[in-house]
Structure 1
């Protein structure tokens, strides 16, 4: 049984989020989707977007 914020499969994170963003999350979630599932999917998408952005050649030079 997990006793803290970290176990073998995952880690809890805590963040304060404005009421406006939380309301929009609730509107955007798919039916049956938990807030945790939404947040994890959003984080995965943002990580991929940033990795892709970093791998692009610098277009400002040239």
Structure 2
């Protein structure tokens, strides 16, 4: 998936999440997903201008 395609999906998701009640498990799932997105963004930033094969993907761990 292209990053832009994944991010464009958030455009509609965030407004739908307003005023929603989440369970503790639901909030933890959102936290884990957000951490994965941050990790992937850090990985992309670290590899910008370098050979990406040098950096293992954080999503494959």
Q: TM-score, normalised by structure 2?
A: 0.41
Work out which structure has the larger RCO, using CA pairs closer than 8 Å and 6 or more positions apart in sequence: 2
Bigger Rg, which one: 1
